[in-house]
Structure 1
Amino acid sequence: MKKLCSSSKNAEAQIQESSKSEDADVKRTVMYGNFAWVFFHQNQFIKSLTYAKKVRTILKQYESPPRKQTLLLDIYGEQGWTYLSFTGKYYQRAAECFEKALELDPEDPESNSGLPWLCIEWKVSDTVATQKTNERAVNLNPSDTVVKVLLALKYLYMKNHDQGAMLIEQALQEQPESPYVLRYVATFYKRRGQIDNAIAIFKKILTLTPTSCAVYYQLGTCFKQLIRMPKALKGQSTHDNRQQNAEAIANAIFYSEKAVELNRSSVAAHNLLINVYMKTNEYQKAKEVFGKALTIKSMRCEEKQELHLSWAQYLMNSRKSESEAVRHFKEVIKIQSETWFRGTAIKKLQSLAETMIVQNAMDATGHALLGYIHQQRGQDIAALEYYEKALLLDPDNQEYLEACSALQATLS
């Protein structure tokens, strides 16, 4: 608590020294509001109220409409960029702040720069409207190289490759040593399919930020794209082709393993390494990393669904292990988060069940799986019919018996 109060005093002193009066008021308003929020959630209500009153005192000085609009514009901008400094779950709030700022002043340079950033990082809807926002941001910020590379990525999405490439060249000339700019340049090349160019840029970034998990991850994904399966090499089985493929495999493994090593809690890095091992038929290594990934405490529901879905598809398609695949499809479906991963798992499981029944109409497992799928969709009557059919075919199956009893109780 003492440390928090000390931080408040130090921050206020720095604001006073480094900012003009109006800028200082904006920063103090944001800072006081943050401290009021922190103290409130720590049940320090007197301190919280003290900071809330400080906010109110500043706002009273800006009660006239023009001054109030100026203050609010800067506050929304500060809040937007603050939210962007945290994880993706705060990006929605960042977008709302920038949109509020643009309602007050559509030509505000900071907010026009913030929204294009969100379009790339958060994948906000790609529309002509967001392209115009990017173009306006470039016009308002002609010296902002980051905005240029963001617009280049937007042009790429809009199939205007030449315009995007021109902006990328400008960015490379203006800031050839900026890791932040180079990151988007590499992303441009990667999305355009120029993997060798993307790798060269990512390697350059690595010399500037040698411990970046994100850069190792990106290099891993690039080399993974260059891996060619044995069937694809049959018609071109030259020494050079095999050598290039072996190098792509070695590099994909190296950079993916390094990404995991640098950030043990990165689900994306684990998932990449698993997929590289799956693609190179390293089943035991893939299984080991998959097990480690499941122990990550900070894993979100969607990430867990993706992990199980990818593993289930690998087990079914490459390992021909239907029973194990079914178990992992069910793990995806168990997580009650309506995502693409869950919908895909249900479709894959239904397709597998129908195939089982086509191959053998007396297959109890196939009927039980259809019962499970209908149950997940809230179709309890149809689910009960399928489970009863499964129980007739396999009378001693405890799972089917319990499912029938539960459904009967629900429907009675």
Structure 2
Amino acid sequence: MFRHVKTSCTEDKLLTTELTKQECHFTWNMNKKDTNITDHLIKLEDNLDLGLGDKAGTARTHNSVAYVKYLLGSYKEALTNLKKSVELTKDFYGDNCDEKLIVTYGNFAWLHFHMTQYAECKSYLEKLKDIKEKNSAVSPSALHTQVLGEKAWALFKFSRKYYSRARECFKKALELEPEDGEWNAGYAIVLYRTETKCASLEDSSALKQLRRAMETNPDNDELKLLLALKLAEFKLFHEAEDLVERALEMSPDSPRVIRYVGKYLRNYGSVDRSISLLKRALDVSPNSAFIHHQLALCYKQKKEKFRKQPESQTFCHLSISHFEKAITLKSGFIIAMTQLAILYGEDGQIDQADEVFQTALFTAKEKMEGVQALNLYYGEFLQYRKRDKHQAIKYYKDCLKMNPGTLDGKKSAKNLRKIANKRLSYNINDTMAFEILEFIKQVTGKKQFTADGCEHLLESTSS
């Protein structure tokens, strides 16, 4: 039975001060508003159900699930997950592994505090004090590295907004323990996720780190596939395909491996083979939004290939059904929502497209993610599907204002010029056309027409 001990204001303050010094999920500034908490929980629980990773990785996942359960107000379930984390950690490392449990014990202390079980809270704080004192003389860097690595994984899995923080934690952990396989793998994966397109092979930090991670994790098939995808970006297909074959041979039934193989084949090989593999992965993991999304993209590609043939409609509807499933399973899946809305528009389902675009825009603004691209795509939908140029102009302008230097910004400017150009071809004194061109000039700083008049204007806007 838990003991509910009353504390004085002074004791409560001292307890809170001690708790804030701990390194754990409760002190890492992981805010509920920065993720879709329900989607995050589903993803974590899927990882547990599929048995992905070793016992140490599963223990970390139980820690993360515990924190999410706490955020959702399910304290008892949170406690159950923390106990499972301890059990798995001891199974993996042996009973004398307290230094591996610093984060878990910190979570225990915080959770008991929130449950007003102050005696238990103090007990875990005492345990943490003993562990740190015992290890400070033996291996302080190992203690610090363990916390950095766990913090990095927790941040990485919680929200895309925390990728840069996760990257820095992995980097610091590797400075202390450069040969550690887990931290090398984590650093490689977060670099792969955050790296923008590189001009050359030598410029890719992700590629270098993926090779390094492979040295410390030669049996990690997920790393093989991420490296294959990165190599394919630089057209090194021979090495990439060898890695794909090896990964598939070693892990033929792993949904995580199959989904990346499917992505590789869709982008660089056989779409039909990709569909076959992804369907197989779906049998094992039917609630994977990622796999449904990949299948939707495959069928979309086949729809475009057979554009002028009867099969095109079948592939369109198959693509739509998988996009729908993906956003049902993952409600904040902005990319899938956008792609579904575009496909609805192409299929003549205008009202459904408009509704999904509106939901995607609301979600994107809430998450502060992908808003500029959505303004462009919605503008194009309004212009070409709804035939509402007036509203389209508004969204093109919003897109351009956000960042005129991006591809989306430049495309919006081009679309605005075309609209202005078309209006001037009917009326050389069209006020709205001049207002649009003046707006582009103010935002981009580039002159849109000269004092010589419309002929020069039409030349400049048609380029």
- Out of 194, 199, 207, the residue aligned to residue 283 of structure 2 is 207
Give the aligned partner of residue 392 of structure 2: 325
Q: Does the 8 Å CA contact 2:90/2:97 hold for their aligned counterparts?
A: no
Give the aligned partner of residue 92 of structure 1: 164
Equivalent AA in structure 2 for residue 69 of structure 1: S
- Out of 289, 292, 300, the residue aligned to residue 216 of structure 1 is 292
More displaced, 287-296 or 42-51? 42-51
Give the aligned partner of residue 107 of structure 1: 179
More displaced, 119-128 or 33-42? 33-42
1:267 is aligned to 2:339:
no
| Inter-CA distance 369–23: structure 2 relative to 1 (3 Å threshold) | farther
Give the aligned partner of residue 188 of structure 2: 116
- Out of 135, 147, 161, the residue aligned to residue 62 of structure 1 is 135
What is the TM-score with the length of structure 2 in the denominator?
0.67
In structure 1, stretches of 5+ residues that fail to align are 234-241, 384-412
Give the aligned partner of residue 25 of structure 1: 99
| Inter-CA distance 244–377: structure 2 relative to 1 (3 Å threshold) | closer
Give the deviation of 1:187 after TM superposition: 1.4
**2-structure distance, mates of 1:48, 1:71:** 21
| Inter-CA distance 44–306: structure 2 relative to 1 (3 Å threshold) | farther
Q: How does 1:279-298 map to 2 (within 5 A)?
A: 279-294=346-361, 296=363
Give the deviation of 1:302 after TM superposition: 3.2
Q: Per-residue displacement from partner, 1:20-41 (whole Å, max 9, x unpaired)?
A: 46643132x2234556788999
| Sequence identity percentage | 28
**1-structure distance, mates of 2:426, 2:116:** 64
Q: How does 1:1-400 map to 2 (within 5 A)?
A: 3=75, 6=79, 10=83, 14=87, 17-18=90-91, 19-20=93-94, 23-27=97-101, 29-34=102-107, 55=128, 57-64=130-137, 67-123=139-195, 127-228=203-304, 233=308, 242-294=309-361, 296=363, 299-317=366-384, 320-332=387-399, 341-342=408-409, 344-346=411-413, 348-350=415-417, 352-353=419-420, 356-357=423-424, 360-373=427-440, 376=443
Equivalent AA in structure 1 for residue 99 of structure 2: D
| DSSP 3-state at the match of 2:263 | helix
**2-structure distance, mates of 1:41, 1:333:** 47
Q: Does the 8 Å CA contact 1:35/1:48 hold for their aligned counterparts?
A: yes
Equivalent AA in structure 2 for residue 136 of structure 1: R
Give the aligned partner of residue 237 of structure 1: none
| Inter-CA distance 273–209: structure 2 relative to 1 (3 Å threshold) | same
Give the deviation of 1:136 after TM superposition: 2.5
| Inter-CA distance 45–190: structure 2 relative to 1 (3 Å threshold) | farther
| Inter-CA distance 93–125: structure 2 relative to 1 (3 Å threshold) | farther
Q: Per-residue displacement from partner, 1:98-128 (whole Å, max 9, x unpaired)?
A: 1112212322211221122224444466544
Equivalent AA in structure 1 for residue 392 of structure 2: A
Equivalent AA in structure 1 for residue 301 of structure 2: Q
**2-structure distance, mates of 1:24, 1:337:** 53
**1-structure distance, mates of 2:85, 2:304:** 58
**2-structure distance, mates of 1:9, 1:265:** 27
**1-structure distance, mates of 2:287, 2:85:** 33
Q: Does the 8 Å CA contact 1:16/1:24 hold for their aligned counterparts?
A: no
Give the deviation of 1:347 after TM superposition: 5.1
How many matched pairs? 371
**2-structure distance, mates of 1:30, 1:194:** 45
**1-structure distance, mates of 2:132, 2:406:** 43
| DSSP 3-state at the match of 2:179 | coil
Equivalent AA in structure 2 for residue 101 of structure 1: A
What is the TM-score with the length of structure 1 in the denominator?
0.74
| DSSP 3-state at the match of 2:158 | coil
| Inter-CA distance 305–35: structure 2 relative to 1 (3 Å threshold) | farther
More displaced, 45-54 or 300-309? 45-54
Give the aligned partner of residue 39 of structure 2: none
Give the deviation of 1:177 after TM superposition: 0.5
| Inter-CA distance 37–166: structure 2 relative to 1 (3 Å threshold) | same
Equivalent AA in structure 2 for residue 92 of structure 1: S
| Inter-CA distance 346–90: structure 2 relative to 1 (3 Å threshold) | same
Q: Does the 8 Å CA contact 1:88/1:122 hold for their aligned counterparts?
A: no
Q: Does the 8 Å CA contact 1:116/1:134 hold for their aligned counterparts?
A: yes
**2-structure distance, mates of 1:313, 1:2:** 44
| Inter-CA distance 295–76: structure 2 relative to 1 (3 Å threshold) | closer
| DSSP 3-state at the match of 1:211 | coil
**2-structure distance, mates of 1:269, 1:313:** 17
Q: Does the 8 Å CA contact 1:148/1:167 hold for their aligned counterparts?
A: yes
Q: Per-residue displacement from partner, 1:315-374 (whole Å, max 9, x unpaired)?
A: 334555421211222444576899654564355435544654565342111232344445
**1-structure distance, mates of 2:116, 2:442:** 45
**1-structure distance, mates of 2:419, 2:168:** 43
In structure 2, stretches of 5+ residues that fail to align are 1-72, 449-463
More displaced, 159-168 or 83-92? 83-92
